[in-house]
Chain A
């Protein structure tokens, strides 16, 4: 568009649009997890979802929390690199973020296996139903983030990168992290 043609009154541009869009999307995601987590909290207060964290592996989960938080850090670095126009750095840090996400999912799968083999299946009681539904929905979000980041990382190899997309993926990835920061103490510690 040449300078003479009028442009939109709002903050136009694909980057701005993407950012506004992702924030609205995340707002609805907050309500999704908010609904699920409040249901859990209400059931706990009502006494039906008695917490059984004796049977959860708190140490492994703590390590997993650390891994996920670190992947948020690498995501920030990926964005910083993208901003600088440092393609290689962006690819490396996106790759590390993907690895972090995959490690998180692997460890979560290991946890699930341990619990299920000890008989704590999703239908073993209200707590376990909530446990699997909440962490499962979160894991699904991690998986989606991994796919998004991997796509960006591969896209960057092919020279298709658009820095603002790294920022959008980053916003999503941090959100997924924050959800875990709520889930971890609620499920494992309290």
Chain B
């Protein structure tokens, strides 16, 4: 809401940024905020990746000095696992996929000039930055950082004596609270913008799919995080005030935390997944020159999956000691939720079928997303059914499963989006030769890191152990750990290629035309990068749906959503 105008205006005009402070520190322009989120997410990804490097080294060559890190004993290993998971999910995946993509794309794709509440938007970002800082600071306090797993199960997390970590875990909870507040406000902003600020002619049925997915993700987050905030308050009370919500010896219920955590945790994985899925759904039509197959189907699949995600949470708890009679209903809902996702995947495949596919970089990442995500989804079927889960739960099979799904979303979906929208975001093209190298080396090394982990999981290696060689049954399979870690070096090296490409292209890349991919959606009708206020004098007017490619009888193989002269001018 604005200070400036006492009267209620529908649209604030383009505003010019002035000075370093307004441009970078107190930026309210959604495009700048999107870039800030992207940078923060990438920085935290380096931190999270560094922690995973220390873990993998320790797993391959237990109890040897990790170059560039130091000695990792069991206590430190727990710290690494916990903070790696936390950072990757909350401070990498969400900032990039929601914070950056959402902020950048929502106004541009719906034809608005900015988010509904620009200053609230800046607040969200800075809260997130504060939360990230709190996580990093928690490594420095006496006792070290949190070490109760990213799920923070009590009683382990409820008392300092159990882990030896006192302030670290309290700060970890605090960082979460701040992060939740940031994305809660962000979600309110997303939803309000989408509901109230669509360009004339842009009905809900004409929204690009990624906007639907961002909106669904925002709703899932808004509605699922409350119980976890309640849980976090209770856990903080246990730790600081001395209550006993989760402590059995005081009449508390440790399982209650698991319910509250997973009531949030399962929707949360869709919060991360949906924006990535959305990016891929935007990319497929552009590089196969075909409309998306089953627009309405995908919208409904998204909504149904979102709704179902609220009633599957206890599948994370099959072996937790909860009432075993609950296993059956939760198995059923879990198997059910694969139906909408299967539909979405089939819609994606059908969109590609007989298209004229161009293997540009965004398309390569999008296709890799599809392949990797399907792999992760298939192993999910084994874990979703209680009988096989009882054997596999808590092993590296699970670690491999969720890395296939999460990394599909964060790394493959994330890079798909970054490569696709980079020209719009930074006004320059991302270098393709380094891009090709980055893509292929990431794809190969990722699979070598994680695929073998399925085998070692089936062989019985459990998660969150610092030294696999302590167990005789794993020792014969230790080569798998070594292979996985060696491949990680390749994975890390290929990300360095990306960073070089990313920063060099921003400075020296070929200037990007307004619409380098000949795409139809609104964001490609403004200059790259878009000016403040996005649209110049007049808002764009929308005349058709988002995916009108290869329309019979049309002179070109794409018809922009935007009607009128502006669209014609902006052609490359």
Q: Using a CB–CB distance below 8 Å, which chain A residues touch chain B? A: 1, 5-18, 20-21, 24-25, 27-36, 38-39, 42-43, 46, 48, 122-123, 125-126, 129-130, 132-133, 137, 160, 162, 164-165
Whole-angstrom CA separation of A15 from B187 in the bound complex: 18
| B184 pairs with A28, CB closer than 8 A | yes
Partner of A33, one of B191, B200, B226, B252: B226
Could you say which residues of chain A place their CB within 8 Å of the CB of B554? Answer: none
| B539 pairs with A24, CB closer than 8 A | no
Whole-angstrom CA separation of A132 from B223 in the bound complex: 24
Q: Known contacts being A9-B198, A162-B8, is A21 close to B188, with CB within 8 Å?
A: yes
Partner of A133, one of B11, B116, B237: B237
| B195 pairs with A10, CB closer than 8 A | yes
Interface string of B272-286 (1 = CB under 8 A from A): 000000000000000
| B116 pairs with A1, CB closer than 8 A | no
- With CB as the reference atom, state the residue of chain A lying closest to B539: A6
- With CB as the reference atom, state the residue of chain B lying closest to A28: B222
| A1 pairs with B200, CB closer than 8 A | no
| A126 pairs with B252, CB closer than 8 A | yes
Q: Known contacts being A10-B196, A27-B222, is A36 close to B230, with CB within 8 Å?
A: yes
Could you say which residues of chain B place their CB within 8 Å of the CB of A32? Answer: 226-227, 229-230
| A126 pairs with B191, CB closer than 8 A | no
The binding surface of chain A is classed by DSSP as helix
Q: Using a CB–CB distance below 8 Å, which chain B residues touch chain A? A: 1-2, 6, 8-11, 112, 116-117, 184, 187-189, 191-192, 195-203, 222-231, 233-234, 237, 241-245, 250-253, 256, 260, 263, 537-539, 541
- With CB as the reference atom, state the residue of chain A lying closest to B229: A32
| A1 pairs with B9, CB closer than 8 A | yes
Q: How far is the CB of A175 from chain B (nearest CB, A)?
A: 13
Whole-angstrom CA separation of A33 from B227 in the bound complex: 8
Whole-angstrom CA separation of A46 from B198 in the bound complex: 49
28 contacts between A and B (CB under 8 A): A1-B11, A6-B200, A7-B539, A8-B197, A8-B199, A8-B200, A9-B200, A9-B203, A10-B196, A20-B116, A20-B191, A20-B195, A21-B192, A24-B187, A28-B184, A28-B222, A31-B225, A35-B263, A36-B230, A38-B227, A39-B227, A123-B242, A123-B250, A126-B251, A129-B237, A129-B252, A133-B233, A165-B1
- With CB as the reference atom, state the residue of chain B lying closest to A11: B196
Could you say which residues of chain B place their CB within 8 Å of the CB of A17? Answer: 116-117, 192, 196-197
Q: Known contacts being A7-B11, A34-B226, is A39 close to B116, with CB within 8 Å?
A: no
Could you say which residues of chain B place their CB within 8 Å of the CB of A130? Answer: 245
Could you say which residues of chain B place their CB within 8 Å of the CB of A5? Answer: 537-539
Q: How far is the CB of B528 from chain A (nearest CB, A)?
A: 23
Q: How far is the CB of A2 from chain B (nearest CB, A)?
A: 10
| B226 pairs with A29, CB closer than 8 A | yes
Q: How far is the CB of B340 from chain A (nearest CB, A)?
A: 22
| A13 pairs with B8, CB closer than 8 A | yes
| A129 pairs with B245, CB closer than 8 A | yes
- Number of A-B residue pairs, CB cutoff 8 Å, is 160
Contacts A20-B192, A32-B229, A35-B230 known; 12 new A-B pairs at CB < 8 A: A6-B541, A14-B9, A17-B117, A27-B222, A28-B223, A32-B230, A34-B226, A35-B231, A35-B260, A36-B233, A122-B241, A123-B243
Whole-angstrom CA separation of A42 from B112 in the bound complex: 45
| A48 pairs with B11, CB closer than 8 A | no
Could you say which residues of chain B place their CB within 8 Å of the CB of A8? Answer: 10-11, 112, 196-200, 539
Q: Which 5 A-B pairs have the closest CB atoms?
A: A35-B227, A31-B226, A32-B226, A129-B243, A35-B230
Q: How far is the CB of B310 from chain A (nearest CB, A)?
A: 10
Partner of B251, one of A1, A28, A48: A48
| A6 pairs with B199, CB closer than 8 A | yes
Partner of A12, one of B11, B201, B245, B251: B11
Could you say which residues of chain A place their CB within 8 Å of the CB of B225? Answer: 28, 31
Could you say which residues of chain A place their CB within 8 Å of the CB of B245? Answer: 39, 126, 129-130, 133
Q: How far is the CB of B486 from chain A (nearest CB, A)?
A: 44
| B234 pairs with A39, CB closer than 8 A | yes
Could you say which residues of chain B place their CB within 8 Å of the CB of A14? Answer: 1-2, 8-9
Q: How far is the CB of B474 from chain A (nearest CB, A)?
A: 39
- With CB as the reference atom, state the residue of chain B lying closest to A9: B198
| A15 pairs with B8, CB closer than 8 A | yes
The winner among B188, B196, B201, B203 for most chain A CB atoms within 10 A is B196
| A13 pairs with B227, CB closer than 8 A | no
Whole-angstrom CA separation of A34 from B222 in the bound complex: 13
- With CB as the reference atom, state the residue of chain B lying closest to A30: B226
- With CB as the reference atom, state the residue of chain A lying closest to B231: A35
Could you say which residues of chain B place their CB within 8 Å of the CB of A28? Answer: 184, 187-188, 222-223, 225-226
Could you say which residues of chain A place their CB within 8 Å of the CB of B233? Answer: 36, 133, 137
Could you say which residues of chain B place their CB within 8 Å of the CB of A36? Answer: 227, 230, 233-234
| A31 pairs with B227, CB closer than 8 A | yes
| B253 pairs with A24, CB closer than 8 A | no
Could you say which residues of chain A place their CB within 8 Å of the CB of B184? Answer: 25, 28
| B237 pairs with A10, CB closer than 8 A | no
The winner among A15, A24, A36, A132 for most chain B CB atoms within 10 A is A24
Q: How far is the CB of A107 from chain B (nearest CB, A)?
A: 22
| A18 pairs with B1, CB closer than 8 A | yes
- With CB as the reference atom, state the residue of chain A lying closest to B241: A122
| A24 pairs with B10, CB closer than 8 A | no
